[in-house]
Amino acid sequence: MKVIIAAAGTAGHINPGISIARIIEKNFKNSDIRFIATGKKLEEDLISKAGYKSYKIHANGFSSKPTISNIKKNFETLKGFKEAKKILKEFKPDLVIGTGGYICASVIYEARKLKIPTMLHESNAYPGLAIRMLNKINKVDTIMLGIDEARNYLNNKCNIVFTGTPTTLDTTNLTKTKKESVYKDLKLKKDKKIVFIFGGSQGALKINNAVVDLLKHNLNEDYQIILGTGNNNYDNVIKSLNGKYKNAVIMPYIYNISDVMKVSDLIVARSGAMTLTEISLLKKPSIFIPLPSSKSNRQEDNARVFERKGASKIILNNEIEYKILDKYIKEIISDDKLLKKMGNNASLMAPKNSEDKILKEILKLIKKS
């Protein structure tokens, strides 16, 4: 089966696309899967490292403000529709799937015009503009949801189904030997609870600054911190601390993130859709610091779903500072019953049989077509 996956902008769009590609490869022999992206470095790195070829097209959001920059972007976006059409006509896919970003608008729209079956996957609680638009004008066959509450913002003109967000996360419990190895490698203490703090693959300056101040004031006497600073922020964090900190492991990037999450008692992070999925699958309590946006508060919408279920606490980005962070951490980790309750509540939102549900929708659409 020949498949095009359109995804661009962030890892939160690309990674679900890669996970869906794996599902297709696993269940369809001799499948040929290619991505359409915008050529940004992050996109190229993730897609190429996963072993897939990709096409590059132009894609931006339309803007009504008559600035030279916006006019140029609008022309580029219109050019992207033509580029998408050319790729689709040459490759002749059996199915086109979009997993996020403005790029979905041109690729899915042109695929529908060519009568190619189309699907979208939305990971967030509040659907992106391209997905809302394609749903509104009835230009997509199936929309799969990572969070069921997203259907509140969509109409029923197409098939809408909750599948959860697919992930390649290994949810198997660590063996005693493996757990001891993680403790040894990170020089962790067995008598103190572990708080894993990270701001996504690139890190987060405001989160890093709050942790630095917390460590400078030695507020983590009763717990230990694993901090993923992001590659670009690591040197500044270490320099700010001048080597003077206790009960903390500071790393630029966490490559064995699933192992670190498994040994942690509490996770402090941004609230991207993939992070929510992984936290729920691993039954971990959390403190979310949503990434703010001038266009939408998608991460805050995600976090509020967990907060309403009693699985997480929220600190807004403009409120994060070391005293508040320490207060929230201590309130949770000092109460074993609360830790367990929050973890259990998170697990209630974990996608069940996500891979099977996505495969079912793919088979249904292909058969129908």
| 14 pLDDT more than 60 | yes
CA–CA separation, 227 and 237 (whole Å): 10
Chain position carrying tokens 């691993």: 282
Reported as a pLDDT band with limits 50, 70 and 90, residue 232 is: confident
Taking residues 73-78, what's their average pLDDT?
Answer: 67
CA–CA separation, 284 and 311 (whole Å): 8
- Beta-strand runs (E) in 255-360: 266-269, 286-288, 312-314
Bridge partner residues of 55 (DSSP): 36
- Predicted confidence (pLDDT) per residue in 184-214, tens digit: 999 999 999 999 999 865 668 999 999 999 9
If DSSP codes are grouped into helix, strand and coil, which group holds residue 176?
Answer: helix
Query: Among 61-70, 286-295, 358-367, whose mean pLDDT is lowest?
Result: 61-70
The pLDDT of residue 294: 47
Amino acid letter, 358:
I
Taking residues 283-300, what's their average pLDDT?
Answer: 85
CA–CA separation, 301 and 314 (whole Å): 11
> What backbone torsions phi and psi does residue 221 show, to the nearest 5 degrees?
-65, -35
CA–CA separation, 349 and 311 (whole Å): 9
Chain position carrying tokens 């080597």: 243
- Predicted confidence (pLDDT) per residue in 320-354, tens digit: 999 999 999 999 999 999 999 999 999 998 888 99
| 111 pLDDT more than 90 | yes
Chain position carrying tokens 């391209």: 130
Question: Cα angle at 186 between 183 and 187, to 5 degrees?
Answer: 75
Q: How many CA atoms lie within 13 A of 55 on its CB side?
A: 22
If DSSP codes are grouped into helix, strand and coil, which group holds residue 198?
Answer: strand
Decide if 2 contacts 92 (C-beta within 8 A): yes
- Predicted confidence (pLDDT) per residue in 126-166, tens digit: 898 889 999 998 899 999 999 898 999 999 888 999 999 98
The pLDDT of residue 71: 54
What's this model's pTM, rounded to 2 decimal places? 0.81
CA–CA separation, 107 and 4 (whole Å): 9
Decide if 112 contacts 20 (C-beta within 8 A): no
Per cent of the chain over pLDDT 90 is: 71
Reported as a pLDDT band with limits 50, 70 and 90, residue 63 is: low
| 41 pLDDT more than 90 | no
Taking residues 8-30, what's their average pLDDT?
Answer: 91
- Predicted confidence (pLDDT) per residue in 209-218, tens digit: 999 999 999 9
Decide if 68 contacts 76 (C-beta within 8 A): no
Reported as a pLDDT band with limits 50, 70 and 90, residue 59 is: confident
Closest CA to 128 of 98, 107, 88, 156: 98
- Taken in order 270, 276, 281, 285, the sign of the CA dihedral is positive
Q: 319: which DSSP letter? A: G
The pLDDT of residue 9: 82
List, in order of start, the domains of the chain with CATH numbers: 2-166+352-368 (3.40.50.2000), 176-347 (3.40.50.2000)
